[in-house]
């Protein structure tokens, strides 16, 4: 038996859920197919930083739109998703690093972006008193912050279900074909058909793209996270640095969350990661260098998650240039959580109206694609 709908979403992470929600709220019937369970991969293992700070230019318009939505997230999904806007700061440890940050702000101002500000050493100390004394200043976005992925996922799922989305867990997509304006999606002994298709399959999304005839190369990002024992509140903003692989924040429960992009070993086929202790020690050492007072704190947990890594480390979001009615949402390169609300809207707009109210042209898949083979599209269309 074939199940039919107006749209099929492949992948039950936050991007799949957000796209499904926005489509359904526009009256579109949606089937979402998730191979494992909702939030099993990047979305469920995210550090959930809600950051516009230091984004690439092409991502900025959609990131700024998303930030507006985060500040009103409860009206979107009926829950505040644990979002709090305590700011994000990128710290300079030398005058040379501060010059790099100043040059960035000057460039942004010339392009009309005013959300990033330089702060001097005094203000930095006021905002983050526990920071090492040698730091000379930083770059801040005061409206940035962080959320809780374990509140965000259920909130988006509940909203998608309430909007009428049919969610199938344990349904892995194995084949795609396109004929006479309809996508057929094969998943084991099940099949689905719809004119619209969203590829939100995370670290596996380039495989789905290839099934549709789009060669979008992706590598894998498998960032590791450290959680410490609880301590009294001592840092409110999320802190990163110019010169070290570090992202540092304190959760509302008092634990410290230390990330920054040190990579775990991983295997896409078995969908697993394995912590690399040596690299993890470097991540911990970077945190101690910036916050000497935490040196004796115990690590209570570590984890890693899998995300797609694009060649220019920026999201890939846009309609397929070759396959009709197909939207790609992939390659978030370790910073896709913040983009979730606004990219859901952009997906619905592009699929239903052919245009997005926020400019995401710079994220179009074409920029990374090998020459599009007309033959493969033709074969699909007729196959
Ligand atoms: C450790 C870590 C820390 C992070 N920290 C931040 C942060 O602080 N801020 C930020 O903005 N971002 C952060 N990110 C990145 C962010 O979490 C991801 O970019 C985002 O969650 C990606 O969502 P997604 O829906 O695209 O992917 P996923 O959540 O991975 O969802 C993709 C889903 O597709 C499913 N799937 C795959 N293949 C198939 C198939 N064939 N059929 C059906 N389903 C399939 C998978 O099972 C998976 O559930 C972090 C990521 C990690 C791993």
Q: Tell me the average pLDDT across 152-171.
A: 98
Ligand 1 atom at shortest distance from the alpha carbon of 17: 25
The confidence band for 1, taking pLDDT boundaries of 50, 70 and 90, is: confident
Q: What is the pLDDT of residue 22?
A: 99
Query: Is 195's C-beta closer than 6 angstroms to any atom of ligand 1?
Result: no
Q: What is the pLDDT of residue 30?
A: 99
Q: What is the pLDDT of residue 77?
A: 98
Distance from the alpha carbon of residue 260 to the mean position of ligand 1, in angstroms: 17
d(CA 114, CA 374): 43
Query: Is 333's C-beta closer than 6 angstroms to any atom of ligand 1?
Result: no
pLDDT (tens digit per residue) in 76-133: 999 999 999 999 999 999 999 999 999 999 999 999 999 999 999 999 999 999 999 9
Mean pLDDT of the chain: 96
Ligand 1 atom at shortest distance from the alpha carbon of 200: 26
Query: Is 11's C-beta closer than 6 angstroms to any atom of ligand 1?
Result: yes
Query: Is 10's C-beta closer than 6 angstroms to any atom of ligand 1?
Result: yes
Does 379 score more than 70 pLDDT? no
CATH superfamily placement of domain 88-142+223-304: D-Amino Acid Oxidase, subunit A, domain 2 (3.30.9.10)
Query: Is 192's C-beta closer than 6 angstroms to any atom of ligand 1?
Result: no
Q: What is the pLDDT of residue 383?
A: 27
Residue of the CA atom closest to atom 9 of ligand 1: 49
Query: Is 297's C-beta closer than 6 angstroms to any atom of ligand 1?
Result: no
Query: Is 223's C-beta closer than 6 angstroms to any atom of ligand 1?
Result: yes
- CATH fold label, 2-48+150-217+311-379: FAD/NAD(P)-binding domain (3.50.50)
Does 366 score more than 60 pLDDT? yes
Ligand 1 atom at shortest distance from the alpha carbon of 49: 8
Q: Tell me the average pLDDT across 356-379.
A: 75
Does 182 score more than 50 pLDDT? yes
Q: Tell me the average pLDDT across 324-339.
A: 98
Ligand 1 atom at shortest distance from the alpha carbon of 338: 11
Q: Which of 9, 10, 22, 43 to mutate to test the pocket of ligand 1 (most atoms within 8 A of CB)?
A: 43
Query: Is 283's C-beta closer than 6 angstroms to any atom of ligand 1?
Result: no
Query: Is 40's C-beta closer than 6 angstroms to any atom of ligand 1?
Result: yes
Which string of b and e fits 45-76 if b means at least 16 CB within 10 Å? bbbbbbbbbbbeebbbbbbbbbbebbeebeeb
Distance from the alpha carbon of residue 27 to the mean position of ligand 1, in angstroms: 26
Q: Which residues have a Cβ under 8 Å from the Cβ of 332 and sit 6 or more positions away?
A: 15, 42, 307, 308, 315, 339
Query: Is 138's C-beta closer than 6 angstroms to any atom of ligand 1?
Result: no
Does 374 score more than 60 pLDDT? no
DSSP state letter for 43: G
Query: Is 173's C-beta closer than 6 angstroms to any atom of ligand 1?
Result: yes
Distance from the alpha carbon of residue 200 to the mean position of ligand 1, in angstroms: 9
pLDDT (tens digit per residue) in 62-78: 999 999 999 999 999 99
Q: Which residue has the tokens 């005839």?
A: 213
d(CA 199, CA 158): 21
Q: Tell me the average pLDDT across 284-313.
A: 97
User: Beta strands of 156-215 (E only): which ranges?
Assistant: 166-169, 175-179, 182-187, 190-194, 196-199
Radius of gyration of the chain (CA): 21
Q: Which of 152, 173, 202, 212 to mutate to test the pocket of ligand 1 (most atoms within 8 A of CB)?
A: 202
Every domain of the chain and the residues it spans: 2-48+150-217+311-379, 88-142+223-304
Q: Tell me the average pLDDT across 250-274.
A: 97
Residue of the CA atom closest to atom 27 of ligand 1: 202
The confidence band for 371, taking pLDDT boundaries of 50, 70 and 90, is: low
């Amino acid at each position: 038996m074939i199940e039919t709908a107006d749209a099929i979403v492949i992948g039950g992470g936050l991007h799949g859920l957000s796209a499904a929600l926005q489509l359904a709220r526009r009256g579109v019937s949606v089937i979402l197919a998730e191979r494992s369970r909702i939030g099993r991969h990047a979305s469920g293992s995210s550090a959930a930083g809600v950051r516009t700070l230091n984004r690439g230019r092409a991502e900025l318009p959609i990131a700024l739109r998303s930030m507006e939505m985060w500040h009103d997230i409860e009206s979107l999904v009926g829950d505040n998703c644990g979002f709090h806007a305590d700011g994000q700061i990128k710290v300079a440890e030398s005058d040379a690093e501060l010059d790099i940050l100043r040059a960035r702000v000057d460039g942004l101002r010339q392009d009309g972006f005013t959300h990033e500000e330089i702060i001097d050493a005094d203000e930095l100390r006021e905002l983050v008193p526990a920071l090492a004394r040698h730091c000379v200043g930083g770059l801040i976005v005061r409206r940035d912050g962080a959320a809780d992925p374990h509140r965000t996922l259920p909130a988006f799922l509940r909203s998608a279900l309430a909007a009428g989305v049919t969610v199938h867990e344990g349904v892995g997509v194995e084949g795609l074909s396109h004929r006479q304006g309809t996508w057929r999606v094969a998943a084991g002994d099940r099949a689905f058909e719809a004119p619209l298709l969203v590829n939100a399959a995370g670290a596996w999304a380039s495989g789905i793209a290839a099934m549709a005839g789009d060669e979008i190369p992706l590598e894998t990002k498998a960032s590791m996270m450290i959680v410490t024992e609880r301590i009294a509140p001592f840092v409110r903003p999320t802190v990163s640095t110019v010169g070290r692989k570090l992202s540092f924040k304190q959760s509302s429960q008092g634990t410290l969350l230390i990330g920054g992009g040190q990579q775990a070993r991983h295997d896409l086929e078995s969908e697993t990661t394995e912590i690399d202790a040596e690299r993890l020690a470097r991540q911990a050492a970077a945190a101690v260098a910036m916050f000497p007072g935490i040196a004796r704190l115990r690590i209570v947990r570590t984890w890693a998650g899998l995300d797609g890594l694009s060649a220019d480390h920026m999201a890939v979001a846009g309609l397929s240039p070759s396959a009709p009615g197909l939207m790609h949402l992939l390659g978030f390169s370790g910073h896709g959580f913040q983009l979730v609300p606004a990219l859901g809207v952009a997906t619905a707009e592009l699929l239903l109206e052919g245009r997005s109210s926020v400019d995401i042209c710079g994220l179009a898949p074409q920029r990374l694609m090998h020459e599009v083979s007309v033959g493969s599209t033709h074969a699909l269309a007729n196959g």
